[in-house]
């Protein structure tokens, strides 16, 4: 079949047939009828030879496929085409449709041949892949068999090694336990050593501070004992230079350390000093609300007075150090360093007196006739010292503003145990909140109750009405027998029924006053 097809292609009959068709088309209108018929007959004869060769190729192709190969194609395509050609030739109709059908059938045959060739290639490829897969499967089976053998060998070896490993594991666990115990003991020792080192550094810093303070006090003592005080007053820069030379620029503690120390002192004042002051006031005042209001107002006034004293001291130190200031350091830093090193320059007793004087005229607590505010002078002194030292920090610390009847703020205050936890307003404050640049760093305490706003308004009106009332006579006595005289003097007249107790309190007050004057702390 392939030879016949090759001869058909090499014979170029199809090309000659196409050339004759084109020539006949060009000369059709110039030829006579006989000439056109002769051309048509030549073309038919040439086409019949081509068809004969094609039928020969068709029969050979059918024979190569076997007895029944191509039967369906001949039935479905060749026989209908032959029947159509004969019927069309018998009735004399044009064969354009048949020619189109022939072309379509040839195109479909070509597609079928391509599909069959593609299928054969795919089958061959699948056969090759199947063979390679079988080879790989056989290799995997061999590897599996070898692995099973190795696994059996490993099991036998592991069974013998497992017993030895268990004994070794037990031994290692014992060693690990002992090492952990040793490590814990070493860690405890290291922690203790770290604590000792920290305490040693703190003690060294405190010793340095105390040494500087001692030198300052000795210099002051020598100046106070000198026979010519006018000379020292005329030259104030000389002793200051001496104090600066004797004391360090800072108290060896960084600003962070001083801040932490002051926060601890403020917290201790809330936890201990405040309760001690409450116990002192409870001896004279039974109402807990009045006691807590007095302590809160004392803390607020102490901060206010301490800040004013710090400003005045800062102005005085700046005026004193300005003539003798030399160096690249700013004047503000020099003044702050000097104040930090000489906190004893602060006249805390004067601030205590100012606080008591301000509390005496405060409308909220101006008429508790049972007690004089001097009984809590130790508490006021501690708060004044803390507030003054807080002004030397960068940035300085201050307390938050609080007013009765304000909206309760969870960020600033904690509710006291006797508060109404559903009330939105503050009835009164127990302890102020500590602030740093409008940021709360330590919460205060407040009492919240329903109707706090109207209660605060009534208290203010009552206080105003009392402040407008005439002052009681010194001879008149209150319920507890204590005369009411709110003057700057801390002394009071006490009746004979409580004479012994009053004399004892007076002796305690005189002792405290002497200690304050001498510069010692209240015990």
* Rounded CA Rg of the chain: 58
As given in the structure block, the two tokens for residue 144 are 């599996």
49 class by beta-carbon count within 10 Å (0-12 exposed, 13-18 middle, 19+ buried): middle
Alpha helix segments (H runs only) across 226-321: 229-234, 237-246, 255-268, 274-282, 288-321
Specify the pairing of strand 398-399 against strand 413-415. Answer: unpaired
Q: How far apart are CA 338 and CA 317, in angstroms?
A: 8
Give the span between the Cα atoms of 375 and 509, in whole angstroms.
Answer: 7
Element (H, E) at 415: strand 413-415
The CA distance from 444 to 296, in Å, is 10
d(C-alpha 405, C-alpha 332), whole Å? 40
pLDDT digit of tens for each residue in the chain (523 aa)? 567 677 777 767 788 888 888 888 888 888 888 888 888 888 888 888 888 888 888 777 777 766 666 666 776 767 776 766 655 554 444 455 656 766 776 777 778 888 888 888 999 999 999 999 999 999 999 999 999 999 988 888 888 888 888 888 998 999 999 999 999 888 888 888 888 887 887 777 667 667 766 766 776 677 666 544 333 333 333 333 334 333 443 444 467 888 889 999 999 999 999 999 999 999 988 889 999 999 999 999 999 999 999 999 999 999 988 888 777 778 888 888 888 888 888 999 999 999 999 999 888 886 666 678 999 999 999 999 999 999 999 889 999 998 888 999 999 999 999 888 888 899 999 999 999 988 999 999 999 988 655 555 455 444 443 333 333 333 333 333 333 334 333 333 333 334 444 444 544 544 444 444 444 333 3
pLDDT of residue 486: 42
The confidence score (pLDDT) of residue 144 equals 92
Please tell me the predicted confidence (pLDDT) of residue 459: 53
Paired sense of beta strands 398-399 and 444-448, if any: unpaired
Closest Cα to residue 224, out of 235, 212, 233? 233
Provide the residue ranges of all domains of the chain, joining segments of one domain with +: 1-67, 249-470
Alpha-carbon distance of 217 to 211, in angstroms, equals 10
Residue 81, both tokens: 């085409």
DSSP state of 374: G
Global model pTM greater than 0.75: no
As given in the structure block, the two tokens for residue 223 are: 């100046």
429 DSSP β-pair partners: 446
Q: How many CA atoms lie within 13 Å of 300's alpha carbon, on the beta-carbon side?
A: 19
pLDDT, residue 254, reads 65
């Amino acid at each position: 079949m392939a030879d016949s097809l090759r001869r058909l292609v090499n014979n170029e009959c199809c090309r000659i047939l196409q050339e004759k068709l084109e020539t006949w088309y060009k000369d059709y209108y110039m030829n006579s009828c006989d000439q056109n018929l002769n051309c048509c007959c030549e073309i038919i004869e040439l086409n019949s030879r081509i068809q004969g060769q094609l039928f020969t190729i068709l029969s050979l192709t059918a024979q190569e496929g076997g007895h029944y190969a191509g039967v369906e194609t001949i039935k479905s395509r060749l026989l209908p085409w032959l029947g159509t050609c004969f019927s069309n030739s018998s009735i004399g109709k044009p064969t354009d449709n048949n020619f189109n059908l022939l072309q379509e059938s040839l195109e479909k045959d070509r597609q079928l041949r391509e599909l069959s060739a593609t299928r054969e290639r795919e089958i061959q490829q699948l056969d090759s892949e199947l063979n390679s897969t079988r080879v790989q499967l056989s290799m995997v089976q061999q590897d599996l068999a070898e692995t099973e053998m190795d696994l059996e060998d490993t099991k036998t070896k592991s069974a013998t090694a497992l017993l030895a490993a268990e004994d070794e594991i037990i031994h290692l666990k014992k060693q690990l336990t002992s090492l952990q115990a040793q490590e814990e003991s070493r860690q405890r020792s290291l922690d203790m050593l770290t604590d000792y080192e920290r305490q040693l550094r703190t003690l060294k810093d405190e010793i340095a501070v105390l040494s500087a303070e001692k030198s300052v006090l000795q210099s002051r003592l020598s100046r106070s004992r000198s026979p010519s005080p006018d000379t020292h007053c005329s030259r104030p820069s000389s002793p200051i230079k001496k104090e600066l030379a004797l004391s360090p620029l800072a108290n060896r503690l960084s600003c962070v350390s001083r801040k932490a120390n002051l926060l601890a002192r403020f917290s201790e004042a809330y936890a201990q000093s405040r309760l001690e002051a409450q116990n002192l006031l409870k001896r004279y005042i039974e109402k807990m609300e009045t006691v807590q209001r007095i302590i809160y107002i004392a803390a607020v006034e102490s901060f206010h007075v301490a800040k004013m004293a710090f400003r005045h001291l800062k102005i005085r130190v700046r005026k004193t150090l300005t003539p003798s200031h030399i160096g690249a350091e700013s004047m503000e830093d020099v003044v702050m360093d000097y104040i930090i090193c000489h906190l004893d320059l602060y006249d805390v007793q004067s601030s205590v007196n100012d606080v008591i004087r301000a509390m005496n005229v405060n409308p909220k607590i101006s008429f508790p006739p049972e007690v004089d505010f001097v009984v809590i002078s130790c508490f006021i002194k501690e708060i004044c010292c803390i507030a003054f030292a807080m002004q030397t920090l960068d940035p300085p610390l201050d307390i938050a503003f609080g007013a009765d009847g304000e909206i309760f703020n969870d960020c600033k205050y904690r509710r006291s145990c006797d508060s109404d936890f559903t009330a939105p307003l503050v009835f009164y404050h127990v302890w102020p909140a500590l602030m740093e640049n409008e940021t709360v760093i330590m919460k205060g305490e407040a009492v919240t109750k329903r109707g706090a706003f109207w209660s605060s308004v009534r208290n203010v009106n009552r206080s105003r009405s009392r402040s407008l009332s005439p002052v009681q006579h010194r001879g008149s006595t209150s319920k507890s027998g204590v005369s009411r005289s709110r003057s700057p003097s801390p002394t009071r007249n006490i009746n004979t029924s409580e004479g012994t107790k009053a004399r004892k309190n007076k002796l305690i007050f005189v002792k405290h006053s002497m200690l304050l004057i001498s510069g010692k702390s209240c015990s």
